[in-house]
Amino acid sequence: MTTTQVKRAFKFRFYPTDAQAAELSRTFGCVRLVYNMALHARSEAWTMRQERVNYNATSAMLTAWKKTEELAFLNEVSSVPLQQTLRHLQGAFSNFWQKRARYPRFKSKKKSRDSAEYATSAFRYRDGQLTLAKMAEPLRIVWSRLLPEGQSPSTVTVSRDAAGRWFVSMLCEDPGVKPLPALGAAVGIDAGITSLVTLSTGEKITNPRSERKDRERLAKAQREFARKAKGSKNREKARAKVARVHARIADRRRDFLHKLTTRLVHENQLVVIEDLTVRNLLKNKKLARAISDASWTELRTMLEYKCAWYGRDLVTIDRWFPSSKLCSACGTIRDKMPLNVREWACDCGAVHDRDVNAARNILAAGLAVAACGDGVRPQRSTPGGQSSMKQEVIPPQRTRAAAQPRG
């Protein structure tokens, strides 16, 4: 059986020279401008004439814009990133039409990430050195690891985060990512706050609370930022300081999640999770900060693409499945289960840890899906005749392998 080669993005930090930084900054600005102008043109064409403008039309517009006196500066940067941003806009509209995303939004100079994508015609990768178009010397990259042997990047994305750090992401095929040997193990995962995840095996993995460790430092940096005069250089320095604290928190959180998800995927053939609506949960003002710090959405995303990479099965249980209120021993469902109840006893005599019981119920529902290959019908009543909430399990879905910087 042949397997599709997985493409991965390998992300590295680099330190540009002053000339390279100036060139890339100009490129970022031109990319943002072309994207916004093309989005405006497409939106106007639809609003005024009910006309859909495709990538080819916006590419022709770009050629015309370059010939005008006002936009002649677009010729000073590489044309490839400008064409790539038009392709990204086309992809954004395709996702909108297929109801996978919201309507494309304009890029903001302050809020949007600075980035530019280069195709193979706009860079040279040779002997471990990367040189971009319009540049005389290669980038000074910190090679934290090697690219797969014999592989060259198909696209290169250069970005600068809010903290002022420069990154280059190289997309290339990775022969090392292939299905792992099949296992008989399966695990159900219950996401939480005190314990980031509780496994059906009974193991609880403590939430590292990445944001809490730097909360005082972040608060101090934000106070200093608030005191600076708007538009001043000192305010910009203070903003960068706040961004560096946020970047430190995000890096620590991402590193922990990568290690956790890699371990879960390598140790289990079947991984079962809940379909949590994080956006709605964040409306709880008392728990919003803790929920954001837990980053359940990023945890799920990592599990999805890693299961696809390594030939594992991922089952997502419907959000209304009463995993916490259902007794894993007899199947009885309790009417209420407040958040402050961490242990409870069922009438059948079983004493449950709330999170472990939920994880075991999630695993049982996932195994049912894996066995029958279809959803489980809603459970309307418990064995004792009590009414229950709606229970539904959605069938497993294979997800696309996403390009990510880590394994």
pLDDT digits (tens, 9 = 90+) for 80-134: 999 999 999 999 999 999 999 999 999 998 888 899 999 999 999 998 899 999 9
Final residue in a domain of this structure, among 128, 150, 173: 173
3-state SS class at 125: strand
**164 and 261 belong to one structural domain:** no
Active-site amino acid positions:
190, 274, 355
pLDDT at 393: 37
pLDDT at 370: 80
**Confidence check: pLDDT of 63 > 70:** yes
- Convert the pLDDT of each residue in 272-310 to its tens digit: 998 888 888 888 888 888 888 888 899 999 999 999 999
**Confidence check: pLDDT of 221 > 90:** yes
- Convert the pLDDT of each residue in 355-383 to its tens digit: 899 899 999 988 888 877 654 444 444 44
**85 and 191 belong to one structural domain:** no
CATH number, residue 194: 3.30.420
**Confidence check: pLDDT of 406 > 50:** no
Question: What is the domain range of residue 353?
Answer: 186-207+251-372
**193 and 112 belong to one structural domain:** no
- Convert the pLDDT of each residue in 127-139 to its tens digit: 889 999 999 999 9
Q: What is the dihedral of CA 349, 353, 359, 362, to 10 degrees?
A: 40
**22 and 67 belong to one structural domain:** yes
Closest CA to 361 of 290, 275, 273: 273
Indicate left, alpha or beta for 164 from its phi (over 0: left) and psi (-120 to 50: alpha): left
Q: Please classify residue 123 by burial: count the beta carbons closer than 10 Å to its beta carbon, then call 0-12 exposed, 13-18 middle and 19+ buried.
A: buried
**119 and 259 belong to one structural domain:** no
In a domain, 381, yes or no: no
What is d(CA 138, CA 126) in angstroms, rounded to the nearest whole number? 10
3-state SS class at 153: coil
In a domain, 241, yes or no: no
pLDDT at 326: 85
Final residue in a domain of this structure, among 119, 150, 173: 173
What is d(CA 29, CA 143) in angstroms, rounded to the nearest whole number? 27
Tell me how many domains the chain contains: 2
- Convert the pLDDT of each residue in 169-193 to its tens digit: 999 999 888 899 999 999 999 998 8
**40 and 138 belong to one structural domain:** yes
Which of 44-48, 162-166, 351-355 has the weakest average pLDDT?
351-355
pLDDT at 385: 40
Q: What pairing do the DSSP bridges indicate for beta strands 155-160 and 114-119?
A: antiparallel
pLDDT confidence band for 76 (50 / 70 / 90): very high
In a domain, 382, yes or no: no
In a domain, 73, yes or no: yes
Average pLDDT over residues 197-226: 92
Q: Over pLDDT 90: what percentage of the chain?
A: 62
Contact 352, 328 (CB under 8 A): yes
pLDDT at 3: 56
**14 and 72 belong to one structural domain:** yes
**Confidence check: pLDDT of 261 > 60:** yes
**111 and 194 belong to one structural domain:** no
User: What's the pTM value of the predicted model, to 2 decimals?
Assistant: 0.82
In a domain, 218, yes or no: no
pLDDT confidence band for 388 (50 / 70 / 90): very low
pLDDT at 205: 93
pLDDT at 59: 96
Q: Which residue has the higher pLDDT, 2 or 109?
A: 109
What is d(CA 57, CA 100) in angstroms, rounded to the nearest whole number? 23
Q: Which residue has the higher pLDDT, 66 or 334?
A: 66
Contact 115, 31 (CB under 8 A): yes
Contact 326, 188 (CB under 8 A): no
**36 and 76 belong to one structural domain:** yes
pLDDT confidence band for 334 (50 / 70 / 90): confident
Q: Over pLDDT 70: what percentage of the chain?
A: 90
DSSP element (H, E) containing 11: strand 7-14
In a domain, 96, yes or no: yes
- Convert the pLDDT of each residue in 314-333 to its tens digit: 999 888 888 888 888 888 88
Q: What is the DSSP string of 283-325?
A: T-TTTHHHHHHHTHHHHHHHHHHHHHHHT-EEEEE-TT--TTT
pLDDT, averaged across the chain: 87
Q: Please classify residue 392 by burial: count the beta carbons closer than 10 Å to its beta carbon, then call 0-12 exposed, 13-18 middle and 19+ buried.
A: middle
pLDDT at 405: 41
In a domain, 231, yes or no: no
Average pLDDT over residues 204-210: 91
Contact 364, 351 (CB under 8 A): no
pLDDT confidence band for 226 (50 / 70 / 90): very high
What letter would DSSP give residue 230?
T
Indicate left, alpha or beta for 197 from its phi (over 0: left) and psi (-120 to 50: alpha): beta
What is d(CA 52, CA 46) in angstroms, rounded to the nearest whole number? 6
**Confidence check: pLDDT of 55 > 90:** yes
pLDDT at 373: 62
Angle, helices 55-66/79-97, rounded to nearest 10 degrees = 150
**167 and 117 belong to one structural domain:** yes
**135 and 35 belong to one structural domain:** yes
In a domain, 379, yes or no: no
Q: Please classify residue 242 by burial: count the beta carbons closer than 10 Å to its beta carbon, then call 0-12 exposed, 13-18 middle and 19+ buried.
A: buried
**195 and 302 belong to one structural domain:** yes
